[in-house]
Amino acid sequence: MKTASLAPKTEAEVWLRILHPDRELSPRVARAILGLSFPKDDVTRMHELSAKARAGTLTPEEDGEMDNFERVGSILSILKSKARQALKHSGRGA
């Protein structure tokens, strides 16, 4: 008999299953995660898209682009939170 598995509803859920945020991170891995960030060009693009969204002038393609940045940013935030917790518990702060 097959075991039922919950299908992921979002791309973020798939990534989180791959990255296993519920497992303990080593201090070395935690520090590496805390060093991750968006490149400067991407930050600039996010600001441009945000301004267009506030003005109500985003195209459907740009709206999708903004959604992608938001999903990746959410995953990165979750991973960084996990990394900070791991370092706090290891006694070696960031």
Long-range contacts of 14-19 (CB under 8 A, 24+ apart): 15/75, 16/75, 16/78, 19/75, 19/79
Cβ atoms of 35 and 79 closer than 8 Å: no
Query: Whole-number mean pLDDT of the chain?
Result: 86
Taking the model in full, what pTM does it have?
0.75
In tens, the pLDDT along 29-70 reads 999 999 999 999 999 999 999 999 999 999 999 999 999 999
pLDDT-derived band at 1 (thresholds 50, 70, 90) equals: very low
